[in-house]
Structure 1
Amino acid sequence: MKMVRHNRITVIILVLVLVLTFYPKPSYAYVLYSGYWSSTAKPSTNVEYYVDSSVTGYNYDTSVSSGASAWNGISLKYGITSTTVADSADIKVFAGDTHDTSWADTLNYKNKTDAGGCWSCSWNYSRIRINAPVYQPASSDLRMKVMIHEFGHAAGMDHETVNKAIMKQGDNGYYTMQTDDKDGLKAKYPN
């Protein structure tokens, strides 16, 4: 009798372990910086970017505008538009030689006079630098992916390490927004 009871308990435990192991669970793999756009300085629904003449000189305008607009229409509380007034821009995009191997980089700042980046604060300004010597030979698809990725950093997204996402570093063979990226922006700026 004790053996039958022990076997039943073992079977019940085994079934529970299998159910808990293979039962579908929601995945929240996107990674967010703890900082965000300051709503006191400017509502995050209308973040403006400015394209420096260095970007125009390299003919990167299309990839920059496509990269920015990819983040629009995902959250009602976050959108990006361009401006021709440098002083009023929340994000400035530059191109040049950064003397490293990255395609581009982004830093977010508390204000325009800060010397160092701030990923865990409320920021009012972002800077995207395109590294022309590395970016120039890239395909147009990869350039677009890089700009979507960098504007994602300006929105507060960190690098993804698990799921298929634009925010995953490198040339991963996909060049458009992925579900993980969209879910991350919605979590950062919920409707």
Structure 2
Amino acid sequence: MAANQTCNTTALLVIDMQNDFVLSDGSMRVDGGLAIVPNVIKSVDFARQRGFLVIWVVREHDPLGRDVELFRKHLYGDGKPKPTSKGSKGAELVDGLVIKEEDYKVVKTRFSAFFATHLHSVLQGAGIDSLAVVGVQTPNCIRQTVFDAVELDYKSVTVIVDATAAATPDVHAANLYDMRNVGVATLTLEEWCESCF
């Protein structure tokens, strides 16, 4: 899919850049997450300068775990930390990332930002046909969101490779390879910024 994007039809999806996923003591820490924070901040700043819609995709769960996947239910038992539960410090965005009034926030409870959310209708209503994606983590929430975007026929889908991360560089690279094979552009932040003219 072509990487060239125009302001009024592009959205930047910022996925799961929350304390529980990114910080070194986060209960769901992705090892590569902290290192990408500066580039995620830069991508958000650039998107705002260019007039792109910035969409914050976050995980927020019921503190009792009633809306979590079956394989994660055990994390919400008595006395456990309750990862990314609504209103918790762990569910907050990492320092340096702030939702502004002109941005949009989508709350999800599964890997894909499109699954059981209104993201697609919001994007359609805004006339968006091109997506750029940053955040964590590549094999799960990034990949699932990107594959759903491809299935929904977005004209251009781009993963910013140095503003996304996985537990290891090898896992990150393998998933980027798979996404390229379905037509997704995988660009560095610098390349993406240069492509948006």
With normalisation by structure 1, the TM-score equals 0.30
Quick one: higher RCO (CA 8 Å, sep 6+), 1 or 2? 2
With normalisation by structure 2, the TM-score equals 0.29
